[in-house]
């Protein structure tokens, strides 16, 4: 009973202090925080918060799912797309434009690439996600997807759930480690709520967000995931974004074909990752957002006009494939001529695999909001369907089309996200059982190993990894990524000009507690250093006081630290130089020194925070 009362109190105070930003509400909040510290242990409080995160994230998933569904239904059923397919040319651009305008003029912040933003918040943002992400990505993604943008809703709900966790953590003034855990709770809850797949949500947190696999982490994440799934069940019943019941059995003799599917899925994932990033880079070169909207809208609209299955998330096309109606999916619109011609169907499937990435990346590049979760499932389903069609038509074997499509979904998802466990259990959960577990494992692992040979990071992590901003399971790197150089700079070193005399230097030494003296020029530009140990032999030679100048006795350090360097780079420079102090420069200007001892002390303290149970 006490736990439930605490939950109601926390929700009440959270709402009260969020919407009443005056001194009185702050006093109320401070009073509650003091009461909480006296009466509720940190572990119990964390479990309570994880349930609250699960409730809010589950509700967000239900809201997003229903809003997107009814908006999509309104658009596609109130406008005759079958007879007026030119609407496919108009609506995607409209969706991209509305999303871009909403983000640019109302939110005024970048909310694209939701999972990458969550990873950045964990690795470099101190776990802080702006509170507008509690709703902004839901609105923008609904506008994009319901009007045809060829992306998914899952990344926006991941960002929403993570933002809810981060907002709660910041509200209750929790430390970085706890806020990060609440972000993981929100992520798991978002996926569990939208798919009703709590296990997949938990595994996504472990594989993609790369949180430590300890019981103190798992318990809150599991609570959030199952809470969100129950909330989703309560409001939605059996309705989910995507579901299917397996009716065809798996046979051991088909294992070689699933291995082959794994290899193909790996290469499709590689194409997915590299081509997506290439297209997005081309859009980034365009500075005018209006031009981006026009180009993105024209590309997406034209591709959907030719291939209507690219409209929105693509789950309708996947359902038709799984229900044995795959031949009808790609025979609509101007492709109607391909009916009952298998060779045309094969060519269309190949083309869909190629252009889906163009449509997806053009949607996000043009200003639309959405993720790669659904597109990876779509690409996987098409890959599996294409492979099984080739095998069956060639007479090599006779295998289930639905099984291959499902396993292909897991294969491409595992490759694109580098998350084989998430892919395996997501498909297992949405199919209502584990009949396909052996082929799911085989194909997902083979796909992951195939792409990992060429791409060591997932599509989410690749952008951060290139900048050195990615936190990993490697404890040392994780700790170093959280350390900031600006917090470790020592500024109590006395500077001297290069034209100063030995007399000036000796006077400076007599007043200083340090044995290193940076030499700077105009505008504090760094020139070199004088080390006291190097001049002991002339320090007391009075005859040289006015004849020797600093620039003649200073040295030029081989190594220095740039202000923008990551702590991993700084540590590498210390190891390579063997020095105990290194100067810190900002575009050549002297800022101070950083010492090996201070870095080690900061590292030990942060490592204790990371390892604390």
Q: Which two tokens stand for residue 232?
A: 């989703």
Over residues 345-351, the mean pLDDT reads 89
Alpha-carbon separation of residue 164 from 50, 159, 346, 354, 518 (angstroms): 11, 9, 44, 36, 47
d(CA 67, CA 236): 13
Number of CB atoms found within 10 A of residue 175's CB? 13
Least confident span in 39-43, 97-101, 104-108, 486-490 = 39-43
| pLDDT tier for residue 607 given thresholds of 50, 70 and 90 | low
Q: State yes or no: pLDDT of 327 exceeds 80.
A: no
Over residues 8-13, the mean pLDDT reads 46
Q: Where are the beta strands (DSSP E) in 114-198?
A: none
Q: State yes or no: pLDDT of 23 exceeds 80.
A: no
Lateral strand order in the sheet of 561-562: 561-562, 581-586, 589-595
Least confident span in 47-56, 84-93, 159-168, 398-407 = 84-93
Least confident span in 73-82, 316-325, 374-383, 403-412 = 73-82
Q: Where are the beta strands (DSSP E) in 299-443?
A: none
- Reduced 3-state DSSP string for 376-409: HHHHHHHHHHHHHHHHHHCCCCCCCHHHHHHHHH
- Tell me the CA end-to-end span of the chain in Å, nearest whole number: 27
d(CA 412, CA 283): 25
Taking every pair of C-alpha atoms in the chain, what is the biggest distance, in angstroms? Answer: 103
Enter the DSSP assignment of 486. G
Q: Which two tokens stand for residue 341?
A: 């011609």
**Domains in the chain with CATH codes:** 2-236 (1.10.3080.10), 255-476 (1.10.3080.10), 479-611 (3.10.580.10)
Least confident span in 92-96, 243-247, 347-351 = 243-247
φ, ψ of residue 124 to 5 degrees: the values are -130, -15
d(CA 285, CA 274): 17
As a residue count, the chain comes to: 613
Number of CB atoms found within 10 A of residue 376's CB? 29
Specify the 3-state DSSP secondary structure of 476: helix
d(CA 182, CA 339): 51
List, in order, residues 6 or more apart from 211 with CB less than 8 Å away: 180, 181, 184, 205, 217, 221
Q: State yes or no: pLDDT of 475 exceeds 60.
A: no
Number of CB atoms found within 10 A of residue 231's CB? 22
Question: In this prediction, what percent of the chain has a pLDDT beyond 70?
Answer: 85
Q: What is the pLDDT of residue 16?
A: 41
- The half-sphere exposure of 216 on its side-chain side, counting CA atoms within 13 A, is 14
Q: State yes or no: pLDDT of 1 exceeds 50.
A: no
Specify the 3-state DSSP secondary structure of 340: coil
φ, ψ of residue 3 to 5 degrees: the values are -65, -45
Over residues 57-68, the mean pLDDT reads 87
Over residues 509-531, the mean pLDDT reads 91
Q: Which two tokens stand for residue 519?
A: 């030499």
Q: What is the H or E stretch that residue 520 is in?
A: strand 516-520
d(CA 317, CA 334): 17
Q: What is the pLDDT of residue 12?
A: 41
Residue burial 380-393, b: 16+ Cβ < 10 Å; e: rest: bbbbbbbbbbebbe
- How many helices (H) and strands (E) the chain has is answered by 26, 5
Q: What is the pLDDT of residue 13?
A: 44
Q: Which two tokens stand for residue 139?
A: 């609105």
Q: Which of 366, 365, 325 is nearest to 345 (CA)?
A: 325
Over residues 163-169, the mean pLDDT reads 91
Q: State yes or no: pLDDT of 424 exceeds 90.
A: yes
d(CA 457, CA 19): 40
Q: State yes or no: pLDDT of 481 exceeds 90.
A: no
Q: Which of 59, 341, 8, 327 is nearest to 186 (CA)?
A: 59
d(CA 121, CA 245): 38
What is the Rg, in whole angstroms, of the alpha carbon atoms belonging to the chain?
29
| pLDDT tier for residue 450 given thresholds of 50, 70 and 90 | very high
Q: What is the pLDDT of residue 244?
A: 63
Q: Which two tokens stand for residue 239?
A: 């309705």
Q: What is the pLDDT of residue 337?
A: 63
């Amino acid at each position: 009973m006490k736990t439930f009362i605490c939950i109601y109190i926390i929700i009440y105070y959270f709402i009260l202090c969020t919407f009443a930003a005056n001194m009185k509400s702050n006093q109320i909040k401070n009073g509650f925080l003091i009461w909480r510290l006296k009466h509720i242990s940190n572990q119990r409080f964390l479990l309570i918060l994880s349930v609250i995160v699960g409730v809010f994230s589950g509700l967000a998933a239900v809201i997003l799912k229903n809003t997107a569904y009814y908006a999509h239904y309104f658009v596609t059923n109130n406008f005759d797309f079958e007879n007026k397919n030119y609407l496919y040319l108009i609506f995607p651009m409209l969706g991209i434009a509305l999303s871009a305008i909403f983000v640019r003029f109302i939110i005024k912040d970048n909310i694209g690439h939701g999972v990458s933003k969550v990873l950045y918040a964990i690795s470099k943002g101190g776990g802080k996600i702006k509170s507008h992400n509690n709703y902004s990505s839901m609105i923008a993604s609904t506008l994009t997807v319901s009007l045809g943008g060829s992306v998914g809703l899952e990344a926006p709900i991941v960002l929403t759930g993570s933002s809810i966790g981060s907002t709660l953590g910041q509200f209750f003034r929790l430390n970085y480690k706890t806020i990060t855990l609440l972000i993981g709770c929100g992520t798991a809850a978002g996926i569990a709520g939208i798919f009703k797949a709590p296990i997949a949500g938990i595994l996504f947190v472990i594989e993609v967000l790369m949180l430590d696999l300890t019981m103190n982490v798992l318990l809150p994440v599991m609570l959030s995931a199952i809470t969100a799934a129950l909330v989703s069940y309560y409001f939605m019943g059996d309705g989910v974004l995507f579901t299917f019941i397996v009716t065809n059995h798996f046979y051991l003799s088909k294992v070689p074909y699933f291995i082959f599917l794994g290899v193909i899925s790996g290469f499709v994932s590689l194409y997915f990752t590299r081509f997506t990033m290439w297209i997005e880079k081309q859009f980034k070169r365009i500075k005018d957002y209006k031009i981006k909207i026009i180009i993105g809208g024209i590309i997406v609209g034209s591709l959907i006009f030719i291939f209507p299955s690219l409209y929105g998330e693509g789950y309708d096309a996947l359902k038709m494939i799984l229900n044995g109606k795959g031949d009808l999916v790609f025979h609509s619109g101007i492709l109607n001529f391909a009916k009952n011609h298998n060779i045309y169907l094969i060519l269309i499937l190949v083309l869909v695999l190629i252009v889906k990435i163009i449509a997806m990346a053009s949607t996000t590049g043009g200003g639309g909001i959405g993720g790669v979760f659904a597109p990876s499932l779509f690409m996987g389903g098409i890959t599996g369907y294409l492979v099984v069609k080739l095998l069956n038509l060639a007479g090599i074997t006779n295998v289930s089309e639905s099984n291959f499509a499902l396993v292909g979904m897991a294969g491409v998802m595992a490759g694109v996200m580098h998350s084989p466990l998430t892919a395996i259990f997501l498909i297992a959960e949405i199919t209502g059982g584990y009949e396909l577990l052996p082929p799911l494992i085989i194909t997902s692992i083979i796909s992951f190993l195939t792409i990992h040979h060429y791409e060591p990071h997932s599509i989410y992590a690749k952008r951060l990894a290139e900048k050195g901003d990615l936190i990993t399971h490697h404890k040392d790197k994780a700790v170093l990524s959280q350390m900031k150089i600006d917090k470790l700079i020592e500024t109590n070193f006395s500077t001297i000009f290069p034209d100063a005399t030995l007399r000036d230097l000796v006077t400076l030494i007599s007043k200083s507690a340090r044995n290193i003296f940076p030499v700077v020029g105009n505008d504090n530009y760094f020139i070199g250093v004088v080390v006291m140990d190097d001049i002991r032999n002339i320090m007391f030679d009075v005859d040289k006081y006015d004849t020797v100048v600093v620039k003649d006795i200073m040295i030029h350090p081989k190594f220095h630290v740039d202000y923008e360097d990551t702590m991993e780079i700084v540590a590498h420079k210390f190891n390579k130089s063997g020095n105990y102090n290194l100067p810190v420069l900002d575009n050549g200007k002297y800022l101070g020194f950083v010492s090996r001892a201070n870095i080690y002390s900061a590292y030990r303290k942060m490592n204790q925070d990371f390892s604390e149970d």
